[in-house]
Homo-oligomer: A and B are copies of this chain.
Amino acid sequence: MSRTPTPVVGMAQEQIHRHKVGILLRHLHLGGSLTRAELAGRMGLNRSTIMALTAQLSAAGLVHEESPTDTGRAGRPSFLVRVRPNWAYVLAFDVAVDRLVAARVGLGGAVLDRREAVRARAGADLDHVVEVLARFGRQLHEAAPAESVCVGIGASYCGMIRPGDGMVRFGPDMGWVDQAFGAELSRRLGLGIPVPVGNEAHLGAQAEQQRGAGVGLQNLLYLHGDVGVGGGIIVGGKLLDGDGGYGCELGHMVVNPYDGRPCGCGSYGCLEAEVGERALLDAAGRPPDLWGRDALRAVVDDADRGDPVAREALRRIGDWLGIGVANLINLFNPGMVIFGGMLRDVYPGAAPQVRHRIATNVLPVARERVRLRTSALGDDSTLVGAAELAFADLLADPLGVLDRAKA
């Protein structure tokens, strides 16, 4: 059971310095190029301290500094600092219900190279998944410029993950229970770098907050639809992980306790059972052997063309989705609700019901400022989240990690 850490106010000077270097690099990684003056303002430090920090990062090869051009304004012009995008990179992996993706992502967040394979919906064993991803990873690593350096690896997985060691506790889609995915992928890649793993919706939420629809928001909800519905919830700027790292399971909120559809979890009437892919296809009268993103988009297209059965199916899904989202807004008073994965396709046609339920079920003061959006990062929200997970160590201690990566 985790306990409140005792506040420790003593921190060694060297730690504080490494922490400052990391925060500065994080500003540049997320914010693009910034002048030294802007960095000084954002970090609450004076310009000479910033100059010393950027000089260290520049000497380490992580950033460029550019001479100022005359801005025409009064005062001293300021050096422009930006990350070197194609030198320090991470490998990011995404195990989704319908595909396996690997990418090389540079400092600053640009996807520099990628490999992708369609994945059949049937169960897949650990060995097969890791074999495909490790092959992709080695290809990406070999194709990287000779002088570049891999500073981290991260993976997104469509299931419940134990923090710390990348163990898949429960992967309903593949039938995985307690599979050492992170450790096995690290071993097969053979790069001597551990592979932290995150739940896809958790990582999607963080990616949308860092680089997507919710940049800078302190409180947001991210609903990730695929076969089921995953959740990532940002509370006070941080991912809600709970005591064991297994929070945010909004897809298993029971919204229909009477005649609920059976859910993969063994229960009935869960949000994901009522609004997931199968629920929509059944409501639209599609045959049970039809499934997947294309089948789902066909229903959305039919509804757009005015087909009454498809419209009614979206309306029905929207009502359950609205009950769930209204419950969540009452609980979290978020600034934004973001619909990702297949819910990006479903949400526009379901929005009237969702808005109606919010207006009916949410206390007025709790919905005063909430905005509803679809994911800005699209299908890459989970991959981007995996890349940010991979960058975490570098951004905590850039110079230390770089020393180890080059050793």
Interface bin, chain A: 35 or more
User: Do B247 and A366 touch (CB < 8 A)?
Assistant: yes
Extra contacts, 5 of them, besides A8-B43, A9-B23, A243-B370 (Cβ < 8 A), are A4-B216, A7-B43, A9-B20, A170-B365, A244-B369
User: Do B369 and A1 touch (CB < 8 A)?
Assistant: yes
Given A43-B7, A323-B257 in contact, is the A365-B332 Cβ separation under 8 Å?
no
User: Do B43 and A254 touch (CB < 8 A)?
Assistant: no
Q: Give the interface SS of chain A, mostly helix, strand, loop or mixed.
A: loop
Cβ of A48 < 8 Å from any Cβ of B? no
How many copies are assembled? Answer: 2
Cβ of A330 < 8 Å from any Cβ of B? yes
Cβ of A145 < 8 Å from any Cβ of B? no
Interface stretch of the complex, out of A232-240, A285-293, A303-311: A232-240
Q: Which residues of B contact A10 (CB under 8 A)?
A: 43-46, 49
Looking across the interface, which residue of chain B has its beta carbon closest to that of A259? B258
User: Do A246 and B363 touch (CB < 8 A)?
Assistant: yes
Looking across the interface, which residue of chain B has its beta carbon closest to that of A49? B10
User: Do A335 and B2 touch (CB < 8 A)?
Assistant: yes
Given A257-B255, A363-B249 in contact, is the A368-B236 Cβ separation under 8 Å?
no
User: Do A363 and B333 touch (CB < 8 A)?
Assistant: no
User: Do B16 and A160 touch (CB < 8 A)?
Assistant: no
Q: Which residues of B contact A205 (CB under 8 A)?
A: none
* Measured CA separation A270–B331 after assembly (Å): 12
User: Do A43 and B331 touch (CB < 8 A)?
Assistant: no
* Measured CA separation A248–B366 after assembly (Å): 10
Task: List residues of A (246-275) whose CB comes within 8 Å of B's CBs.
Answer: 246-250, 252-258, 265-267, 270
